[in-house]
Amino acid sequence: MAKNKLIGRDLATEQNPTTIDEFYFWTNSDTKLNAFDIVKVEREDGTNTFGVIESISHITDATSFLTNFISSDFGDANISEPTFRVGMNYAYAKVSYNTKGDYTPVHNNSKVYLASEEEIIFALGLDKVDNPLVCGSLKMYEGTEDEVTLPVKLNAKFLLGSEGAHLNISGISGLAAKTSYAMFLMKSIQDTYANKTEEDESVAFVLFNVKGRDLMAIDRLNDELDDSIIEEYKKLKLSQKPFNQVKYYVPYYDNKSTKQSTYLLRDDVSSYIESRKLKKFKYVYEDDKESIEMMFANVEDPNQTMEAIVSKIIDERDLDFGNLKTWSEFLETVSENSQKGSKGSSGEITVLSWRKFKRIVNKAIKNDDMFANRVVPEQSECRLADELKRIKKNEVHVIDIAKLPEDKQAFVFGDAVKTIYNLKLGEYDNEGVTPPSRIVIFIDELNKYASSDVPKSSPILRQILDVTERGRSLGVVLFGAEQFRSAIHKRVTGNCATHAYGRTNSIETSTGEYRSLPDTYRNMLTRLSQGEYLIQNPVFRSLLKIRFPKPIYKQFK
């Protein structure tokens, strides 16, 4: 791009003055500009003020629509208008930065230029990013001879802690590619942190596969990549290899059974087990009974009777449940209490409450091999909590819950998050474990566990709120994705330092969650292409429209 290309002059009128935050400028109608482009204004004091274009308009000297209609021979669409109309484009820009920190308004008729590559980086605050982490690329002056493509880096400490933490990704299913963007960011993190030796800069990942086989081959190369995608990764200075140090976990099922608990093909399961990167997880009553509360994540419990029953069950001194060893003994005891009633720690628990409890646990546990009496490590079986406790630097643990019904998905997710949170709280220190300084948890369909409709008593919602509100200091980071951001609990989105807005519909953008975005940007969200996101992060001086390449790991059709 030619440096400092003059494209227009600043405008200041009685009705539209320039201010410390904004300015207008005219440009001829042939100049192609886009929202998010950066322009530079020369000031009289020798400094430069940079602005981000938010909207572009075209006007003529016609005083009304009727004027134009009359000048076309009273509405003859086939003739050129006999009266020549003077026209121009004008743009509205938000002030991004001034070279000397002087934010007094730019003056009328000041020269407006396209910014050079170096000036774009400077204007957006990308020139001195500490702890740089690639989060995509951006294009300025797209579709013109002046087009510029730049990598975008954010400060990792505002994504992973300690300065800020947590990421929320929103967008409609399919086109918004929420999972793909989350995986791109985690690939960037793994590449960036792989060779760091400092103790406080080790990162591991726990991912939940919630759709088909989406994340069940992230250590295998995408065999449909073309050279252009490989070149994109090279330009971003990221490795052209898939994730490494990956372990997969699927719910236990008997090999002799005709039913599988995973969408992975049997051959893939056998191959993964043979290469020691897949285990089938089980839940053992004596070790996992404290997680029973996770089965009630979406159950209204206004009187806290379900909570009282769970407290009774995990009480080692309880006469009914204290000495039980197996799930079958547990279900039998629950059945007995549902007939005669019992007294719990919070007063008398009614027979009706026990029956409600019985219905829920029976549905989850009965005839499910995942709830077992013992684990046989020699047969590639494990307790999920035991594996997560021993997660190591750079490891990626993928937990497959795609084929489980929603109540069991919630149980597995809640138990895993609880284990990771307790691990970072130091509850397992006496077991000789040393966790990485940061553990990233990724879950799609976050609305299932943290929507504004989830019961306030939900143990999983409590766990997620703990992670988003206090996890930053512990090193527990949540990457959550959902179709509709407006449905998520405000304390969850409010505690995310980084936000990625993908394509969505106009009904969603009209909600309060998008009120802080300029109208042009909100409208743009309805027509973003796949692979495009608007990114908001404390490091950036304005919202950025970024792109990211297709996943480099294998994707199943």
Map tokens 């967008």 to a residue: 171
Sign of CA dihedral 409, 135, 192, 212: positive
Closest CA to 34 of 93, 86, 113: 93
Q: What is the DSSP letter of 61?
A: S
| Domain co-membership, 105 together with 211 | no
pLDDT for 423 beyond 90: yes
Answer yes or no: do 162 and 214 share one domain. yes
Q: Which of 117, 183, 166, 139 is nearest to 32 (CA)?
A: 139
Give yes or no for a contact between 322 and 315, defined as CB atoms under 8 angstroms apart.
Answer: yes
Same domain, 203 and 342: no
At residue 346, the pLDDT reads 41
Nearest to 545 by CA among 517, 518, 509, 521: 521
CATH number, position 204 = 3.40.50.300
CA distance 370 to 179: 27
pLDDT digits (tens, 9 = 90+) for 496-523: 999 999 999 999 999 988 988 888 888 8
Each residue's pLDDT tens digit, 79-92: 776 777 888 899 99
- The answer to whether position 383 is within a domain reads no
Please check whether residue 384 lies inside any domain of the structure. no
Closest-CA residue to 448 (of 463, 440, 460): 460
Q: Which of 72, 191, 253 is nearest to 553 (CA)?
A: 191
Whether the upstream peptide bond of residue 162 has omega within 30° of 0, thus cis, is yes
Better-scored residue on pLDDT, 198 or 444:
444
The residue range of the domain holding 340 is 286-365
Instruction: Report if residue 260 sits inside a domain.
Output: no
Q: Which of 123, 142, 176 is the last residue of a domain?
A: 123
User: What pLDDT, in 10s, does the model give residues 394-406?
Assistant: 999 999 999 999 8
CA distance 155 to 169: 18
Residue 48: pLDDT band by 50, 70, 90 thresholds?
very high
Query: Do 530 and 423 have their domain in common?
Result: yes
Q: What is the pLDDT of residues 293-334, one digit of tens each?
A: 998 888 888 778 888 889 988 888 888 888 899 999 999 999
pLDDT digits (tens, 9 = 90+) for 433-484: 999 999 999 999 999 999 888 888 888 999 999 999 999 999 999 999 999 9
User: What's the mean pLDDT when you consider all of the chain?
Assistant: 90
- The verdict on 405 and 525 lying in the same domain is yes
Whether residue 58 lies inside any domain: the answer is yes
Task: Assess whether pLDDT exceeds 60 at residue 360.
Answer: yes
CA dihedral 134, 140, 143, 148 (to 10 degrees): -70
* Calpha distance 391→393 (Å, rounded): 7
User: Is residue 530 domain-shared with residue 481, that is, in the same domain?
Assistant: yes
Residues 523 and 407 in one domain: yes
**Would 273 be classed as within a structural domain?**
no
Residue 270 lies in a domain: no
Count of domains observed in the chain: 3
**Which of 530, 542, 557, 485 minimizes the C-alpha distance to 184?**
530
Per-residue pLDDT, 81: 63
**Helix and strand totals (H; E) in the chain:** 16, 22
Same domain as 472, residue 333: no
Name residue 59's amino acid: I
Looking at the structure, tell me whether residues 165 and 31 fall in a common domain: no
Average pLDDT over residues 180-191: 96
Q: Which pLDDT band, with edges at 50, 70 and 90, does 1 fall under?
A: very low
State the DSSP code for 549.
Answer: P
Task: Report which DSSP code applies to 257.
Answer: S
